[in-house]
Amino acid sequence: MSAVDAGRTDGGSAPVRVGVVGFGYWGPNIVRNLDRLGDAEIVVACDLSEANLGKLAQLYPYVETTTDLDAMLADYDLDAVVVVTSAPSHYVIASKVIAAGKHCFVEKPLTLTTEDSEKLVRAADEAGVTLMVGHLMEYHSAINWIKEYIAGGDLGDVLYVYMQRLNLGKVRTEENAFWSLAPHDVSIVLYLLGEAPDYVSANGAAYVTPGVHDTVFANLHFPSGKMANIHVSWLDPHKVRKLTVVGTRKMLVFDDMQATEKIWIYDRGVGEPKKAMAYGEDLTLRFGDISVPWVPLKEPLAIEVQHFLDCCRDGQTPRSDGRDGLRVVRVLEAVDESMAAGGAPVTTSVEV
Ligand SMILES: NC(=O)c1ccc[n+]([C@@H]2O[C@H](COP(=O)([O-])OP(=O)(O)OC[C@H]3O[C@@H](n4cnc5c(N)ncnc54)[C@H](O)[C@@H]3O)[C@@H](O)[C@H]2O)c1
């Protein structure tokens, strides 16, 4: 297990002085972890909503509050800022944070366009600050275990991956189901395969709200020939959070709806073809053991937040850095473009 996955720090340094922007639904989870880790000092929080700032003040009376982001960046001595506002505001807020010379954590998706993500990556490079995006699943103990298992070679070569993130609702109107649900899946698949796709093709439908796709099937093609399919939907009878990885030797299923037994490994596959197969002879199918490895689980958000603080302190590149955020945004955008073009392949290369 890497130091990142264990949530370890070298410790002993002064706390990172942090400002928080956004205390709606997800912000409280980030603040709880920042507060609990003891490695950060939450100096000030900014939100446009006085009501949400009031909730924060009740829980953390020692944190100052403001509705003015510019004043927060100018008046407080901060090392870093975490941006936990709704996605349309990410680009403007993160640009200001980087321009002020602060390390910046931005919740997923990094921005709403590839162009804006590229600008943030360049700006962070030029300012010499850390830019990290909240691709939470890259810090999930089970996903980290799967990554190491793939690298260990027991699965053989990965052939293809498919993922399902389905449930009934919550039907949103401001973003489609792919932008809402799939950033996690896209980041997982890029992380596990260690490569970015060269093109995507996708189909989807807007059954509930005209123009807002609630059901999407996206195919990602990778330069190595690997393939991934991501199916997301707000119109499904079951809540499903599943990943299947098919390798040349074994197959693996990650079911995030299970409380503890999340990973299942199937020693199954197709046997070596015989040199000369007679008429009517089939390829041999191999059915072996099914195993369920024990993977100790730690709150992914605690690992993610600690990793950001470590990167701020020692200058290491975050696992989910700005470029990772950019690659994911490009896939999300390309899926929209492909759906608009009736499923035509759309390239996903990025500039920086
Ligand atoms: N990693 C995860 O699993 C996960 C889960 C949920 C949400 N998120 C992400 O977290 C972010 C926030 O989502 P949410 O569900 O908490 O949204 P939300 O709408 O509940 O909260 C957003 C908060 O930001 C504030 N805000 C908006 N614009 C602002 C601005 N310009 N300046 C200051 N404050 C501003 C709002 O007043 C609100 O309090 C999104 O990027 C979302 O994708 C991540």
117, 220: one domain? no
174, 34: one domain? no
Quick check: CB of 48 below 6 Å from ligand 1?
yes
Q: Domain containing 337 — which CATH number?
A: 3.30.360.10
Would you say residue 208 lies in a domain? yes
Would you say residue 325 lies in a domain? no
- Residue 330's nearest CA partner among 172, 133, 81 is 133
Would you say residue 293 lies in a domain? yes
Q: Domain containing 51 — which CATH number?
A: 3.40.50.720
CA–centroid distance, 90 to ligand 1, in Å, is 9
261, 161: one domain? yes
Nearest CA owner, ligand 1 atom 6: 26
Quick check: CB of 83 below 6 Å from ligand 1?
no
305, 291: one domain? no
pLDDT value of position 8: 45
Quick check: CB of 84 below 6 Å from ligand 1?
yes
pLDDT tens, residue by residue, 105-160: 999 999 999 999 999 999 999 999 999 999 999 999 999 999 999 999 999 999 99
Quick check: CB of 57 below 6 Å from ligand 1?
no
Quick check: CB of 69 below 6 Å from ligand 1?
yes
**Euclidean distance between CA atoms 343 and 124, whole angstroms:** 35
Instruction: Give me 232's structure tokens.
Output: 């997301």
- Residue 138's nearest CA partner among 190, 182, 188 is 188
**Euclidean distance between CA atoms 100 and 78, whole angstroms:** 10
pLDDT value of position 271: 75
Burial 296-321 (b: 16+ CB within 10 A, else e): eeebbbbbbbbbbbbbbbeeeebbbb
> What are the residues facing 263 on neighbouring strands?
254
Q: What is the mean pLDDT of each run of 10 residues along the chain (352 residues)?
A: 55 86 98 95 98 98 98 98 97 98 98 97 98 98 98 96 95 91 97 97 96 97 97 97 97 95 93 67 82 95 98 97 98 98 96 80
Q: Is the peptide bond before 298 cis (omega within 30 degrees of 0)?
A: no
122, 59: one domain? yes
3-state secondary structure of 344: coil
pLDDT value of position 286: 83
CA–centroid distance, 161 to ligand 1, in Å, is 30
272, 155: one domain? yes
Would you say residue 123 lies in a domain? yes
Range of 52's domain?
16-136+301-319
Quick check: CB of 307 below 6 Å from ligand 1?
no
pLDDT value of position 269: 86
CA–centroid distance, 331 to ligand 1, in Å, is 22
153, 118: one domain? no
143, 127: one domain? no
123, 186: one domain? no
Quick check: CB of 92 below 6 Å from ligand 1?
no
197, 99: one domain? no
Q: Are 91 and 85 in contact (CB under 8 A)?
A: no
Query: For the whole model, what pTM was predicted?
Result: 0.94
HEC profile of 119-139:
HHHHHHHHHCCCEEEECHHHH
Quick check: CB of 256 below 6 Å from ligand 1?
no
Would you say residue 41 lies in a domain? yes
pLDDT value of position 57: 98
Instruction: Give me 298's structure tokens.
Output: 């730690």
33, 153: one domain? no
Most informative mutation of 85, 97, 138 for ligand 1 (most atoms within 8 A of CB): 85
pLDDT value of position 351: 78
pLDDT tens, residue by residue, 278-307: 776 667 888 889 999 999 999 999 999 999
